[in-house]
Structure 1
Amino acid sequence: MFFVGDNLVFNYQEGVHNVLKVNGTGFKQCAAPAGTVPLTSGNDVINLSTPGRKWYICGAPNHCAVGGQKLAITVMPSSFAPGASPVSVISVTAPSPSPTAGCS
């Protein structure tokens, strides 16, 4: 479960993947609105500061639509968090790209 105050960390190979925050439609269509700025560090930390649904996709060609590199979460209010535990860090690591066969 995710709670307000948690940090979501995306770990991936810089230059191969990126992270785009999208809405539900963008998530379903694997498409970000024009002007969406990608996160590209390879170690992106997103503080989950508000409750509700959140959607993220990889914007590299075909990584979302074909490779399934997308994430949908629901962030619960901090009042739902069990006890007074420290802030959680949830890490998402992208798989290494598979080798592609050359054409003859």
Structure 2
Amino acid sequence: MIAGFDLNDTTPRLYQTEPSGVYNSWKAHAIGRSSKTVKEFLEKNFAEGADEKSTVKLTVKSLLEVVQTGAKNIEISVLKPNNVIQNLTVDEISQYVAEIEAEKQAEAEKKKKKE
């Protein structure tokens, strides 16, 4: 996968290339083991124009669909328009995981109350 920004308007771009030379453009994508599950999650939950925090949170949520051990086996890098790459720490990812788990728990409790 190749990620970057359009030089004219800083629009984010994401491409997947194949050994045959074929390439595809994506708004969100996953490759590798369990990528089908992650791609399906992204297709259902991706929102155009989301801010950085929401996008990282969606990324963590999608990875938690296939990673059972939480933040310790997740690595995330954020590419910004000025060519700066921010690698999130395990603690930063753990904060997202905790927030997502709290939301899931609150949703489960909400469903129980409706029953």
With normalisation by structure 1, the TM-score equals: 0.26
With normalisation by structure 2, the TM-score equals: 0.24
Structure having the higher helix fraction is 2
Structure having the higher strand fraction is 1
Between 1 and 2, higher relative CO (CA 8 Å, sep ≥ 6) is seen in 1
Structure showing greater Rg: 2
